[in-house]
Amino acid sequence: MLNWSGFRPFQLHLGLIVYSSQSASCHIATVMRNSSNMRQLLLILTFTFFWSNAFSQENDIDIERIDNYLEFLDNVQLSAKDYIITQFQKYDIVILAERYHAEETQYKLIDEIIRDDYFISNVGNICIEIGSSNLSDRLNNFLITFDDDITNGEQKLLGFQRNISFYPLWSRESYRIFLSNLLTLNLSLDHKNKVNLYLCDIKFDWDKIKTRQDLENVNDDNRDSTIALNISKCFDKIQNSPRKKLLVILNEAHAIPNTEWIDMWKKRAAQYLSEKYGNERVASFLINSVATDDNDKDILLQEGYWDAAFNIAKEDNVGFDFNGSPFGKDQFDYAIGKNNDLFQYQDIFDGFVFYKPIEQHTLSIGIDNIIAPDFRSEFLRRIKIFNGNKYHKELKADSILLGINKKEFYQYDNFNEMLKEIQSINERYLDTKR
């Protein structure tokens, strides 16, 4: 039912209240019986036609668009994991554009990928965005030589994670899960098959940061170029080993390789890699996620059409090339760029994996006991340098450090509204098929 309250002045002006085509017909008949004023009749017909069109448009969806998605998905054969694995048969550097760093579920997919026999035998190398490059060799050596109890190993990994970033603390459970999964995998493999991890973020050492000026002196305003340089160093290094391919995990726009796309900030890491190695060796793949609007709020990709299509198709674990798919022909809207209107998805990413719908995504902040008693004063020192006195005082007075030392779950912005939008598209589409 349309809400007529906003159009009351028009109703009063015409002397009409039209709620349905039936009531409109009654008014038309009355006019024809009692008046020869054809202008009034024309106004009534125009008014009725206009609002009946508006009503149908409000409830309409692009049926053909969804039909095209469903027809395509009906022929997709590969799971998300198998699709990514097949890409290593074609490319030397496979980039996975991850969701928000805090989303845990995607690391189940990453764990499936790195545990695959083909990956272990033919790839065996991972480069990840988060992690200071100067810690890379030390962490990797630990991951491939550790042979003690896994519980002890996980505690030692927390020690690495406390110092892994230029932030006072990288308190993402997803990262802890990733490192723990990799350590567990390597414990099960013989030495020649152990998987290597390389860190590619800017060099950083909190032991050398004593003041705010020290922090600003090491701040790298060209972070993406540094990340790309570190990735290329890793890739060049492994060319002397039996396994010469590389899985790269980068967040959002960092993973866009098309050099013609213009970011709102700076040139991105994958664009540097694409320039250096070419599209024949480097490919980037998007995992289903949400986008952000100009106000930095989470929104659905393609106004919810993609999520609705996968829901209707009952597909939650598939992968495919953008080229040759109806998804690839949609205008790019994942990252905010200066020239998004010039690109379709197939121009930006090579392919797409859909792994679990958004209602199954798990976002969290904080890690249980990441701030051990003997680390608390060091953490507070970093906070004071990084954020200033006010935040330092708040945290110093808080027994659980505002949730940083305790894992907490949260949801995407407007999460319930996004689910309602997906459901609304589904229901309206299915209604047309009954």
Q: Taking the chain, what is the end-to-end CA distance rounded to the nearest angstrom?
A: 21
Q: Which long-range contacts (CB under 8 A, 24 or more apart) does 204-212 make?
A: 204/132, 204/134, 204/165, 204/166, 205/132, 205/134, 205/163, 206/163, 206/378, 206/382, 209/382, 209/385, 210/385, 211/385, 212/385
CB 248 within 8 A of CB 61: no
Q: What is the mean pLDDT of each run of 10 residues along the chain (434 residues)?
A: 28 27 36 45 44 44 96 98 98 97 97 98 98 97 96 96 96 97 98 97 95 88 93 96 97 95 94 96 98 94 98 98 98 96 98 98 95 94 92 87 88 97 96 88
Report how far residue 305's alpha carbon sits from residue 289's, in angstroms, rounded to the nearest whole number: 13
Given this model, what pLDDT does residue 59 score? 55
Question: Which stretch of DSSP H or E encloses residue 427?
Answer: helix 415-433
Q: If you search the block for the tokens 């003690």, which residue do you land on?
A: 148
* Cβ 94 vs Cβ 124: under 8 Å: no
Q: What is the DSSP letter of 180?
A: H
Q: Are 383 and 394 in contact (CB under 8 A)?
A: no
162-189 exposure pattern, b = at least 16 Cβ within 10 A, e = fewer:
bbbbbebbbbbbbbbbbbbbbbebbeee
Closest CA to 201 of 181, 219, 176: 219
Domains of the chain: 5-58 (no CATH), 66-364+409-418 (3.40.50.11550), 368-406 (no CATH)
Q: Rounded CA gap, 52 and 58, in Å?
A: 10
**Spatial distance between the Cα atoms of 229 and 133, rounded to a whole number of angstroms:** 11
Q: Is 237 helix (H, G, I), strand (E, B) or coil?
A: helix
- Residue reference for tokens 């004593």: 210
| Separation in Å, CA 77 to CA 143, 231, 318, 319 | 34, 32, 8, 8
Q: What is the pLDDT of residue 388?
A: 87
Give the span between the Cα atoms of 397 and 211, in whole angstroms. Answer: 22
Give the DSSP per-residue string, 335-368.
S-BTTGGG-BHHHH-SEEEEES-GGG--EEE--T
Output the DSSP codes for 166-178.
SSS----HHHHHH
Residue 309 is encoded by which pair of tokens? 């299509």
